[in-house]
Chains A and B, each alone.
Chain A
């Protein structure tokens, strides 16, 4: 009996994908050519699954800032934030984030995953209660486990169900902390934040919003769903990431809560890991500046997202409930998702496959994410390829839906 035998069933499936030469979980981008193109399997491929929402990964100002900081301060901090790993630019980035959100405190983590782990585990410990949306990202579930709080799931995007579960917990001692996301990464839908805020108030709970996929995407200033829904004052903690719209890596949390600096010495994922290298911090700071000063990027992203969503919808694909930068086509089975994905890749289009248990309700998804850097022609090419493959595989009617007389 070997140590890894417990994974035998999964290993067999994984091996099958490898043998078929189509494993969506192990795709090397041999050469990245631009914000929207890479060489995959020796072929020039259009990237439609990179979460690079504003296309800032090759921004000259961001690159220059990163080079400068690396030259000045070196390639790495070689230490954690609570030891030798807090440089001037970590502090500056924290201030810039706090100022952007109009909050008193900003805190930077080494990844978005760790920001959720670090904040959730520090806010709710043994004897406290966490209320998680059922479709929460893995980092939220993992953060919940790290803190030893009692965890209750509520039905996805259902304020009524949240209220019901808070009611059941009413007589129990301990703080109640609700966690929701701005945009849910699998189907691209947004949280009913106004209604959730009402429930939070009614039951005296705290509210954390993970704006990982909505930073730079939603709101007049790009601050996310809370800004769009005009409920920022009721959000106790905003968590986010630099690895999507900001085109880098790292995570953050901002809050107005008095005494929030204590989190720096109680949050283990903040304390016991190396801090971000100066070049990465400088890139995030420069990208945040671009996000704030170039609202046109957001407008282009929204147009592109709508174009892809409408294009796939009119072909006859079943999509997530609302248009946005994440556009997921619901596939009948995981096998269909794999073969559709492989056919698109073969045709020069890279997307993501998302499968249960990472997806809600056992759905197999072919997930796309749109960038402001995509040209209209690229979006149209993607739609055309989806249509071709869909008809080939019998997932779409032989004649495009839009041209049928109905």
Chain B
């Protein structure tokens, strides 16, 4: 599978080089931690969060609330997530992958 496709799909990139994978997962974990903590601060009540959490269905956020929450993440990571990308994001894993990709492009 193409790397970018894999990342966009929220799956682990299948690199055979351990060092690269280690670096990637460090960064993934850091991004995940930032996204989860931003979300915890934004949600009115505590909810279990994982990569498979559906942002709208599981967290009860509406489209504007999702955009507001992504804005917080953007500022903490100094990136911009274009709105069409946000529309494609379903799970927190998707968001982590999209953010990671944007960090790499920069």
Contact = CB atoms under 8 A, between A and B. Distances in A.
A357 B64 contact: yes
Interface residues of B, number: 14
Contact of A150 (B64, B65, B67, B82): B82
Interface in A136-189: 141, 144-145, 150-153, 155, 164-165, 168-169
Interface residues of A, number: 18
A169 to B, nearest CB: 7
A361 B63 CA distance: 11
B65 A362 contact: yes
A364 to B, nearest CB: 12
B46 interface: no
Contacts of A155: 71
Interface string A61-73: 0000000000000
Given A134-B71, A155-B71, A165 B65 contact: no
A107 B101 CA distance: 42
Dominant secondary structure of chain B at its interface with chain A: helix
Interface of A: 134, 141, 144-145, 150-153, 155, 164-165, 168-169, 356-357, 360-362
**What are the 8 tightest A-B residue pairs by CB atom distance, in nearest-first order?**
A151-B83, A357-B64, A357-B62, A150-B82, A152-B80, A168-B80, A357-B63, A356-B62
16 contacts: A134-B68, A141-B83, A145-B84, A151-B82, A152-B83, A153-B83, A155-B71, A164-B75, A165-B80, A168-B78, A168-B79, A356-B65, A357-B63, A357-B65, A361-B68, A362-B62
Interface of B: 62-65, 67-68, 71, 75, 78-80, 82-84
Given A144-B83, A356-B64, A362-B64, 12 more contacts: A141-B83, A145-B84, A150-B84, A153-B67, A155-B71, A165-B80, A168-B79, A169-B80, A357-B63, A357-B64, A357-B65, A362-B62
